[in-house]
Each structure stands twice: as structure tokens, then as C-alpha cells.
Chains A and B, each alone.
Chain A
Amino acid sequence: NAGVTQTPKFQVLKTGQSMTLQCAQDMNHEYMSWYRQDPGMGLRLIHYSVGAGITDQGEVPNGYNVSRSTTEDFPLRLLSAAPSQTSVYFCASSYDPSGVYEQYFGPGTRLTVT
């Protein structure tokens, strides 16, 4: 049981480039989410999904797209990277989107946009 996995661990992009951050979980969790963590600002919700085929925006969705074609995978796409997207990105999952459950976090992806 690997839990929540993320790839890559580190990435450097040039402004304007696009890329996809991968997230997978093997716990059969319905709820998955993406956060970014910036110094002094805690974690902020980017997008979330309550099940395959269903996604919605969080607090800071601009510049990011998501899709959820399977229960296991929830990739985050940066369409045209900007220096303001330099951050650490965490994927998380929990068992039931409407239940009171803890969220399990992946190890994170550190992204630098130059």
C-alpha cells in the first residue's frame, strides 16, 4: 500500500512552458485534492475532486487544470507556467468527500519557474 504518490519530486520550468504533475493513490479514496504551499501562507486549495469525472475549483485555481478519469489518478496541469507558480505542490486524498475524515498527503513536488 503506497498511499499517495507524486511525480516528479523536483521540476524546473521556464516561463510559458507547460507540464503535468502526477498524483496517484491506491487506497480507493473518492476525494482527491491539490494544494500549493508557499512560505508563510500555509496550504491553499487549488482544485479538488469528489469522484471520477467530477472536479471543482478551490481557493487558487487560476493557471491550473485538472481532470479525474479514474479513482486512482488526479493529475494537475500547468498550462503556461509563470514565476508566481513557483511553490511546493501537495496532492491529498480522503475516503469520503462528504464524511469527516483526515486527508492523506503525498510527498510533494517542488516546482521552480524561471
Chain B
Amino acid sequence: EDKVVQSPLSLVVHEGDTVTLNCSYEVTNFRSLLWYKQEKKAPTFLFMLTSSGIEKKSGRLSSILDKKELFSILNITATQTGDSAIYLCAVDSLIQGAQKLVFGQGTRLTINP
């Protein structure tokens, strides 16, 4: 059975701190790993990773994938209160010709001023 596990499930830090969120997976027919940010409503896309060792960056956020050890990390530097959200990791696999996303439980990140 396909599985995606995120850790920690909850994290509280102070503004300005750096955080690292973890995502490990066991999935057949792996194609990509995606990170989403969920504030109050719909998840919004952050990154898609398909190759090991290539860091994706967007401002203070960065992410990398290790396909040998089956995990990914999401780093946020110089955190701000607006970074408070649930961060979701999902793995995309191809099953019977169709995309399937398997999600982790999410990490609830709270940034205190």
C-alpha cells in the first residue's frame, strides 16, 4: 500500500527561525513529489520534484528530493507569521494510466511573532 509520512505533525517556532519539514514515502510507480501550502482554504502549489539532488527554490522556501532514501525536505528560512499554514507533501504515481496523488498527514506550522 502506498504511504506518505510527514514529520513533525506540528511545529511552533518564533519569527525569524529556520524550519525543516520532512516527508518520507513508499510508493509504486513514483513520478514526482509535490509540496502544497494550505492556509484556510485550498492547497496551493509550492514545488514539484522529480529528480534527486536538485534543489528547487522560491524566495525563502527550498526543497530537495532523495529518491534513493525516499524522502524530501522543505526548508523555510527567516520565517514570517504569513508562513503559518499546513504544509502538505504528496507523491504522484501513475496507476492504470492515470495520475494518483497520495498525501501525507500534513505538518501544521505556527510562527509566533
**Which residues of A come within 8 Å of B, CB atoms?**
4, 31, 33, 35, 40-45, 48, 50, 56, 58, 90, 94, 97-108
Contact = CB atoms under 8 A, between A and B. Distances in A.
Given A41-B105, A100-B31, A56 B42 contact: no
B41 A107 contact: yes
Given A42-B104, A42-B105, A100-B31, A56 B98 contact: yes
Contacts of B34: 102-103
Nearest to A48: B98
B103 interface: yes
Interface residues of B, number: 29
A98 B92 CA distance: 11
Interface of B is mostly: strand
Contacts, number: 66
Given A56-B96, A100-B31, A102-B48, A90 B103 contact: no
Contacts of B90: 43
Contacts of A56: 96, 98
Given A40-B9, A56-B98, A100-B92, 6 more contacts: A42-B106, A43-B88, A45-B100, A103-B34, A106-B42, A108-B41
Nearest to B2: A59
A31 B99 contact: yes
Most buried by B among A40, A90, A105: A105
B94 interface: yes
A13 B52 CA distance: 47
A49 B8 CA distance: 33
A33 to B, nearest CB: 8
Given A43-B103, A100-B92, A102-B48, A31 B98 contact: yes
Contacts of B94: 98
A5 to B, nearest CB: 11
Contact of B99 (A35, A94, A107): A94
